[in-house]
Amino acid sequence: MNDAAMIWNLFAGVLIGLAYLSAFAFVAGLTLRLFLYFKTPVPLKIVQTPGPKNAPGVLARMAGDALIFPNLFQADKALWLGAWLFHACLLLIFVRHSRYFLYPVPELVIDWQAISIYAGFLFPIPALYLLWRRMASARVLFVSGLPDFGVLILLTAIAATGMLVNYYARAYLVDVKAFILGLLTLTPVAPPQHPVFIAHFILVCLLLIYFPFSKLLHAGGIFFSPTRNQIDNVLYPRYVNPWNEEVRIDQNR
């Protein structure tokens, strides 16, 4: 084996190690954070009005919050448009990428490929808008930290390298899928020797490691928000203090 092949094998091993490390950090971190959210006591009803009166109402409210961001729409129309497009593009891009994780690939995913391609082209626009907004407004800039910019830049870099791999410096999809399926089935094979794909892959690994420890966790945290997931039935049941002393009432008096 010559030196170049040896260095490549070593690099491929490091890349595979990084992939498993990032998968572990993502799954373990996400599980731990969501478990902590789940175990956090919520002793009081703090439903945001108008609150839903039953469980289906809560489901509808949460679905609305997660899919169309009605509160943001009322607060800031331009930000709503940017944020909604950003999230919709992310969803479509995720659907498009699911073909690398699934075998056989569902027909629905294949049918959505054409729409998802446009989401890839569109994605940088809302991402750059959100980045610009953080810098253009003094008030927003004041409350923005390095992680706020870092995440947007990381996502934009992932999108940029993804578009390069897909359109300008194409990678051989069969090798890409064999690499991903190899990782998923614990039978790893060497990644494609394609610098832009490797850059794309490393950036995604960094995102996975960072995800559970960042503001990106709002993706899961939104469902644990007590102002949004509680039923507004505070006046319906009778609450009895569990440590009250029992009072004997003489019925004959």
228 binds another protein (CB under 8 A): no
Q: What's the CA dihedral at 160, 163, 167, 169 to 10 degrees?
A: 50
Instruction: Output 102 or 234, the one with its CB closest to another protein.
Output: 102
Residue 186 binds another protein (CB under 8 A):
yes
Residues 6+ apart with CB under 8 A from 110: 99
Distance CA 219, CA 222 (A): 6
| CA 156 – CA 67 distance, rounded (Å) | 22
Q: Which of 40, 187, 241, 251 binds another protein (CB under 8 A)?
A: 187
DSSP state at residue 235 = T
Q: Which residues, 60 to 99, sit near another protein by CB under 8 A?
A: 99
Instruction: Tell which one of 42, 173, 219, 234 touches another protein (CB under 8 A).
Output: 173
Among 65-73, 108-116, 135-143, 144-152, which window interacts with another protein (CB under 8 A)?
108-116
CB of 39 to another protein, least distance (A): 16
Among the listed residues 171, 203, 207, 208, the single contact to another protein using CB under 8 A:
171
Q: Of 109 and 160, which CB lies nearer to another protein in the complex structure?
A: 109
Minimum distance from CB of 95 to another protein (Å)? 11
DSSP string covering 57-124: HHHHHHHHHHHH-HHHHHH-HHHHHHHHHHHHHHHHHHHHHGGGT-SSPPHHHHHHHHHHHHHHHHTH
Question: Strand, coil or helix: what is 144?
Answer: coil
Distance CA 31, CA 220 (A): 10
Q: By CB under 8 A, name the one of 24, 35, 121, 172 that touches another protein.
A: 172
SS3 category, 193: coil
- The reply to whether 184 sits near another protein by the rule CB under 8 A is yes
- Please say whether the dihedral angle defined by the alpha carbons of residues 121, 127, 132 and 137, taken in this order, is positive or negative: positive
User: Per-residue contact track with another protein, 131 to 170, x per CB under 8 A?
Assistant: ---------------------------------------x
Binding pattern to another protein, positions 9-48, x when CB under 8 A? Answer: ----------------------------------------
Minimum gap (Å) between residue 97 Cβ and another protein: 10
What are the angstrom distances between the C-alpha of 173 and each of 99, 100, 137, 166, 170?
10, 9, 42, 9, 8
Q: Which helix (H) or strand (E) holds 219?
A: helix 218-221
**Contact between 108 and another protein (CB under 8 A)?**
no
Contacts with another protein, residue ranges (CB under 8 A): 99-100, 102-105, 109-110, 113, 170-178, 181, 184-187
